[in-house]
Chains A and B, each alone.
Chain A
Amino acid sequence: MIAAIALAALGLAPAPVVTRSNGITVVAQPDAASTLAGTMLFVRAGLDRQSFAQSGLAALTAETILQTPSAGGLPLRDAIADAGGSIGYVVDPQSVRFYVEGLGPDEDRLLGLFASALHAPDLSPATVGRARAELDRSMGGRSALGIGLQMLDGAPAAGTAVSLAQFVPDDVRAFYARAYRAGGALVSAAGAIDPAQTYGGLASALAPGASTPVGATIPPVAGASHELIARRDIDVPWLVARYSAPGYGNKDFGAMLVLASFVDKTLGAVAQLPTLISRTSADSAVGSIYAFDRPSSNLTVYLYGGLGDPSQAFSTALGVFKALGGAPIVGSLDEFKAEARGRFARDIESLEDRAWIAGVFAQSGGSADYLGRTFASIDAVTSADLRRVARRYLGDPTIALVLPRQGG
């Protein structure tokens, strides 16, 4: 009660409620102001459940569930759309997370459709074939930045056309049987939801027990000696650099959020972005991504060559970041903290992102109060913290260059 009053005084959202029900963790963020309900299911069936030779199998299994015939014989994804909702999934290093969203009164019905397919996916050659075709199609739409990020990940989460072509339905069946377990599963729901909902349908759709990570997974690329180069049919180059970074449960999390804000500002300055307004089309061409929700957490910075020859500017920016460990940060620490708060808050505006971040924080075993915890960790950062964390993490990054095929 006292905590709730304190949060209200700060203007912050109430903390999500975490319970255990039907053998899974349930995180609830009811919101009377929302007309939509969103439910995210984390299943421990992510990249660490597939071996190096199985690249893409986790994604193929998740996609097969969405291609499973549902109401009216339509694939689940289409059936949910026709019922007035949407479903999608993301394959993370440790989990695959499905997200179902619809108008509040429809959510139970949508979740019922999902639970049926989750419990008994159609693993016939036809359905697995449709899933493979869908993944193949999605690869064609990857941006040059996406290619750079995948190079640094070590392998694309959805596999490659070659790796996917090698899987047969029995591979998907075996992966599903081993990894789609209730152990470690978590439901995070937000919006126009019933706070008393226990999500028993989703829990019972998963087999009891737990899976374990495979011994040899695809390692992320790391190390100062790496400079990865790819050539694609693009007009101008993209430069991408990645640093290792602390995860959200680490004591350096707040300091890295503040450093990420400094990194963004520096990149904006070298790219000569407009100074008054905040968002322009140029914004998407330069920036940083702090992936703090995974074991190999990282900070990725990128610059698009359409703003002019990017190599000198990029080199200057990376030099500035490296120097941060030995010198005070230039600018107001309070402003960088404010920017870090704002950046974090903006990144979790959507219902899906609210469900995701609450689930991520709840998985740490601590409070799922992502906003309160993060703002507090940012507020506690000192200049000395920034230098220490910069020294530790912002040394030599691994760099990926995505260059035009012609003349490069």
Chain B
Amino acid sequence: MTRRLLAFALTLGLACGGEAAAAPVQIDGALPHGGAYVLRPDAGASTASLALWFRAPSDGYDGAAPGIAQLAAASCAAVRLAGGKSLADSVRSLGGRLVLGGEPDMVSIDVIVPAGSARRALAALTSAYFASTPDAASYALALRDSAVRGVERRYSPDLAMHDALLARMFASGPAHVPVLPGTADAYTGIPLAGVAAFAKRAFAAPNAFLALAGAVDASVLDAVTDGDPNAAASAAPIDSLPGPAGATANVAGAVSGLVYGYAGPSIRDERASTALDFISDYLFDPDRGIVSSRLRDSETNVTGHFLTFHDPGVTVVSISGGDLELAATEVRAAIAAMATPLSPDAFAAARRAFAYRSARGWSSPAALADDLAWYAVQGDPGYAPGDASGTYARSIASLDPAFVASVARRYLQTPTVVHLTAEKGSPS
């Protein structure tokens, strides 16, 4: 167990050019039978957020069952635990929220409960994943919910484009298929036995990363269920194999849009990753981004993010609504312009704005817990923007115009492009 205090206070002050701020407390440690946790108490918070994340391929360990990870996660949430209630029931009875999610290489289970309820929620959460086995009843409930979520994902422009892009950028591996298939048939083809076997391996305690934030303190850790002492060890980060860059594809879907994807650095190249975060913020922040501002009066919605995956990271720019080609021209021009260094004054203002918006991005307990869990699963927990070590803040402070431009020249040159076209009968 370690406590990180001073480093964060000093680097935050350094990044924003002011005096050092008061330091948040962070406690890192190991779970009883493997796995890791990080605790960030906030006595002022009205909620407690518990993020239990696992490294696991979304399409199964043999790559043959797209959707199995989410189906297994939902099945465990529906299993009746020792007290007679499932995790979903327990969270509901506490007035909380249960959110399942994931990426090709990981599964996320987030629970948000009002202050005062973290202990009971944590007991139910860890029991459901460390010490339960999906059964026929929980499997049936999970099939329904997963199918609904899969259909919803197809109709969400950003998520549909995200899935379509990754499927073209990666030649093989879990990123090549959707995290949540969009048809019910895809789930009914996965048998209960397969779901149970997947859950036993993927949701073993040694493979878990638990982030607790908000109205929590160290005493709640007593509520963690031990799990199986003989469970499989932690999995290594799961990477998919990139295909050749520069491909263009036309894909039929439930929604229309245009999406660009650029393969980036691995998470280990922290400075380059931070530079791509900076560029995404500078161009695509919804309120202040250069591209967002230029397209503000149009009916087009543009989003842009650098996804800090283990290897490689991916810059995703999605365009939907309005005149897609006109917006695409703006996007390409703005990205091309980043290859030239910004003026010192413009860069300094943009970096200050980025430092603030980055901190705002993990300022709620739920966002902080997700932030800490994401970077832990991707293999670099100390680099999480919200981590108390201040590594990310130092990385922001290290950026300069020439370096940012060099990163743009290296990583934002040759996109994979996917045109998503709504099938007849789907809303555009």
Contacts and interface: CB of A to CB of B under 8 A. Distances in A.
Given A33-B42, A101-B360, A280 B112 contact: no
A335 interface: yes
A269 B88 CA distance: 16
A82 B347 CA distance: 10
A84 B43 contact: no
A83 to B, nearest CB: 6
A103 B115 contact: no
Interface stretch (A238-246, A346-354, A380-388): A346-354
Given A32-B23, A34-B42, A350-B364, A274 B144 contact: yes
A342 B359 contact: no
Interface stretch (A9-17, A118-126, A174-182): A9-17
Contacts of B113: 342
A277 B107 CA distance: 14
Interface string A4-40: 0000101111100000000000000111111110000
A286 to B, nearest CB: 13
A274 to B, nearest CB: 4
B296 A274 contact: no
B359 A36 contact: yes
B61 interface: no
Interface stretch (B10-18, B201-209, B260-268, B270-278): B10-18
B341 interface: no
Contacts of B22: 32, 104, 192
Interface string A314-338: 0000000000000000001011011
Interface stretch (B93-101, B181-189, B227-235, B307-315): B93-101
Contacts of B215: 11-13
Interface in B15-38: 16-25
> B interface, how many residues as a size bin?
35 or more
B62 interface: no
> A interface, how many residues as a size bin?
35 or more
A346 B115 CA distance: 10
Given A11-B116, A101-B360, A31 B88 contact: no
Contacts of B83: none
Contact of B427 (A235, A332, A371, A375): A235
Contacts of A346: 46-47, 97, 112, 114
B77 interface: yes
A277 B152 contact: no
Contacts, number: 193
Nearest to A192: B21
B98 A10 contact: no
A102 interface: yes
A83 B117 CA distance: 39
Contacts of A170: none
A277 B145 CA distance: 8
Given A102-B356, A281-B156, A345-B114, A276 B363 contact: no
B40 interface: yes
A75 interface: no
B44 A277 contact: no
A151 to B, nearest CB: 23
A84 B359 CA distance: 11
Contacts of B360: 36, 86, 101
Contact of A105 (B20, B100, B115, B149): B20
A84 B42 contact: no
A82 B352 contact: yes
Contacts of A143: none
A279 B97 contact: yes
Contact of B88 (A10, A14, A277): A277
Given A85-B356, A350-B363, A351-B363, A278 B97 contact: yes
Interface of B: 12-13, 16-25, 40-48, 74, 77-78, 88, 91-100, 112-118, 141-142, 144-145, 148-149, 152, 155-156, 215, 287-288, 296-297, 349, 352-353, 355-356, 359-360, 363-366, 427
Interface of A: 8, 10-14, 29-36, 81-86, 101-106, 109, 137, 140, 190-192, 235, 274-282, 332, 334-335, 337-346, 348-351, 354, 371, 375
8 contacts: A14-B43, A32-B24, A103-B21, A105-B20, A106-B356, A109-B18, A276-B100, A349-B365
The 10 A-B pairs with the shortest beta carbon distances in the complex, nearest first, are: A342-B95, A105-B18, A84-B352, A338-B95, A33-B42, A31-B44, A11-B116, A345-B114, A82-B349, A278-B97
